[in-house]
Amino acid sequence: MLNMKQHYNFFYIHLSLLLIFSNSLLANPFQSIKTDTMPTGNYADVNGIRMYYEIHQPTQANSNIIPLVLIHGGGSTIQSTFGNVLSLFAQQYKVIAVELQAHGRTSDRNAPESFEQDADDVAALLEHLNISKANILGFSNGGSTTMRIATRHAGLVNKIVVIAAFYQRNGMLPGFFEMMQRATINDMPQALKDAFLKVTPDTAKLHNMFEKDRSRMANFKDWTDADLKAIKAPALIISGDKDVASNEHTVKMSRLIAGSELMILPGVHGECIGEVETAKPGSKLPELTVAVITEFLQK
């Protein structure tokens, strides 16, 4: 059984398939492409918050390629979720990485967090940037936001990639929601605290984010099967075989989203993308995951 700390780490850093890849796939397929060495970080005023975002892209970007939006997990920043894969994506795409309400460098509003509001905020940012069509990739809570974007703002979406997300309470590890009811800031992984304070050195804002994240999860209301069936964009669903959501739940999600593709990889929550809490030094999983996602987006 996982203890409370382990449960919390799995949340916050947010039928198995055997995948056989050739040496050419496992080798870095992006190594010859140069990217901008420094991201373009900026803010946009959307829906009452000051939203932070970064743009990463190849030095000679192809304007005909649909941009890729990256949405981090709960309690996270751009870097803590995507630090080990962002540069790989940026060798192929114009990447727009965002920080959501109360997270990282983005301001808060006098309202609870919700996946619906996060979806509206990302859509407003894309409108601000004059982007009419994008691929959306979200991890953990960011995956839930991605699914909401696909239904609330379907016209903006080309394809979606949902990593380690869920849509009903019974799909999560037993005791998860009871644990969230009694969680305190002391249960938040230190690496995520450090990542927040590195970009926003304000402990009051850190505590505020934690409480809003905790409340959203503790009070999560099930989505219906119809909510997932309403997603019409091509979808790639990814999870770890020891993830916070069960394999069976992930498979069910992939079957509800018509025509979606499914990949279950070995590992725990976030390991496949090298998330800060679960990254393994020297692992090829993040590189492999990026290669599969890139192939999916290019179909």
- The domain that holds 240 is classified in CATH as 3.40.50.1820
- pLDDT grade, residue 39 (50/70/90)? low
Q: Which helix (H) or strand (E) holds 172?
A: none
The pTM of the whole model exceeds 0.95: no
Phi, psi of 170 (to 5 degrees): -70, -5
Instruction: Please state, in angstroms and rounded to a whole number, the distance separating the CA atoms of residues 35 and 112.
Output: 37
- Count structural domains, the chain: 1
**How many beta carbons lie within 10 A of that of residue 32, not counting itself?**
7
| DSSP of 201-251 | --HHHHHHHHHHHHHHHHT--PPPHHHHHT--S-EEEEEETT-SB-HHHHH
pLDDT tens per residue, range 84-122: 999 999 999 999 999 999 999 999 999 999 999 999 999
Question: Does residue 155 have a pLDDT over 60?
Answer: yes
Domain that holds residue 284: 4-298
| Among 24, 2, 7, residue whose Cα is nearest residue 187 | 7
List pLDDT tens digits, range 66-90: 999 999 999 999 999 999 999 999 9
Instruction: Encode 225-251: b = buried (16+ Cβ within 10 Å), e = exposed.
Output: eeebebbebbbbbbbbbebbbbbebbb
